[in-house]
Amino acid sequence: MKENASIVYFLTRSLFLGFGISLLISSSSKDAYFGALLGLLLGIIITHFYAYIIKNKPKTSLISLYKKDKIVGFITRILMFLISYLILLYTLIIYIVFVISFLLISSPEYYVIIPYIILACYLAFKGLNNINKVASILLPLSLVFTVLGFLGLLNTFNITNFFPILTNTFKDFIFSACAFAGISAFPNILSLHLSNNIKNYHKYYILSGVIIILTIIWINGVFGDSLMRIFRFPEYMMLKQIKLFKFIEKVENIFSTVWIFDLFITSSMAIYSLKESLPQKKEKLVTGIILFITCIIVDSIFSYNYVNELKMYYILPFVGFISSIIIIFPFIFLIKKKLKVK
């Protein structure tokens, strides 16, 4: 029986909180949704190759695929390790900045990040099937909260905020499209670990991408061109405007948990990928040591350090897009070699 690729929904959204959406708005302002739409089409092409790799890889894991060619397999394994670590680093930076800025303002950083890492690590070590089960459980809840959030903001939505349209340059739209494609496809490199017995891969990517585009549209409709540029986390600040049934207010912390779901599933997948990229002797111990060092790095280099955070912020579109493309080639080579052997 085939399993739904629900993990793809969370992976696609994970790096947009505070980073991806803000980057798109800063480059194309109120026309960001147009660049994002082009980026979704480009992202579909990139993730089509991921789906092809998943379909044609061995049923067990990527490890057996690496063995098809000693040199290319080793290079691919190193690339997967580095990419997995980068994705984990980004999710941890976004998580800790978001949580200590809005949810747990007075809490020490270690109290925020250690429980998160422990839970993500526990789920990752439980295996891919368990990550997929948790993702399948969280998906309906995420969709319900998202729909309620959009509906709760209808009374503050102003259509005039979109005019005049298409005022940005062609260069801005191309950058926005490549940024969206890179930021959405980059975490989906982790989906290459999924079983080739999955279904609805593209549907979940498109669903997630459409929700991100709708989020950008809603931010524009609620804040307008000037205000949407100011906020560091416009998607969260927008939720502060929600008023359900004209008397239920301050629900932004509840609705914003959908972004925590995205980060958590992606962190778990990144940790799982790190473990699978290491030699299969004491890989859990080595992964644990890497996570411990990473916590120190995030706390000492990025926590409350706006300059270092901005550096990671601005290189994300380039890192995401380049990594998303590069990883395809060695995997296609290994797949072709596997098919020739058959």
Of 235, 177, 238, nearest in space to 27 by CA: 177
Q: Is the pLDDT of residue 26 over 90?
A: no
What pLDDT is recorded for position 304?
A: 64
What pLDDT is recorded for position 249?
A: 59
CATH number at residue 34: 1.20.1740.10
Q: How far is CA 43 from the centre of its chain?
A: 13
What pLDDT is recorded for position 53?
A: 92
Token duo for residue 147: 């729909």
Least trusted range by pLDDT, from 31-40, 52-61, 121-130: 52-61
Average of per-residue pLDDT across 10-36: 89
**Per-residue pLDDT reduced to its tens digit, 292-307:** 998 888 877 776 666 7
**Per-residue pLDDT reduced to its tens digit, 69-94:** 889 989 999 999 999 999 999 999 99
Highest mean pLDDT among 12-16, 170-174, 224-228, 336-340: 12-16
Across the chain, mean pLDDT equals: 87
> How is 260-329 classified by DSSP, letter by letter?
HHHHHHHHHHHHHHHHHHS-SSSHHHHHHHHHHHHHHHIIIIITT-HHHHHHHHHHHHHHHHHHHHHTHH
Contacts of 309 (CB under 8 A, 6+ apart): 93, 97, 302
Quick one: residue 231, left, alpha or beta (phi over 0 = left, psi -120 to 50 = alpha)?
beta
Q: CA-to-CA distance for 251 and 267, rounded, in angstroms?
A: 25
What pLDDT is recorded for position 106?
A: 74
How many distinct structural domains can be found in the chain?
1
Specify burial of residue 187 (Cβ count, 10 A radius: 0-12, 13-18, 19+): buried
Contact criterion met (CB below 8 Å) for 25 and 185? no
Query: Which pLDDT band holds residue 244 (cuts at 50, 70, 90)?
Result: low
What pLDDT is recorded for position 246?
A: 60
Contact criterion met (CB below 8 Å) for 105 and 253? no
What pLDDT is recorded for position 66?
A: 86
What pLDDT is recorded for position 255?
A: 85
Report the DSSP beta bridge partners of residue 4: 199
Average of per-residue pLDDT across 198-218: 93
**Per-residue pLDDT reduced to its tens digit, 103-128:** 877 777 778 888 999 999 999 999 89
Residue 3 belongs to what H/E stretch?
strand 3-4
Contact criterion met (CB below 8 Å) for 175 and 42? no
- Note if the bond before 164 is cis, omega within 30 degrees: yes
Gap between the terminal Cα atoms of the chain: 24
What pLDDT is recorded for position 298?
A: 83
Q: Is the pLDDT of residue 50 over 90?
A: yes
Q: Is the pLDDT of residue 261 over 90?
A: yes
Segments forming the whole domain that contains residue 202: 3-341
Q: CA-to-CA distance for 278 and 255, rounded, in angstroms?
A: 37
What pLDDT is recorded for position 85?
A: 94
Backbone angles phi, psi at 199, to 5 degrees: -135, 165
What pLDDT is recorded for position 245?
A: 62
Write the single-letter amino acid at 291. Answer: L
Query: Which pLDDT band holds residue 151 (cuts at 50, 70, 90)?
Result: confident
Contact criterion met (CB below 8 Å) for 341 and 68? yes
What pLDDT is recorded for position 116?
A: 93
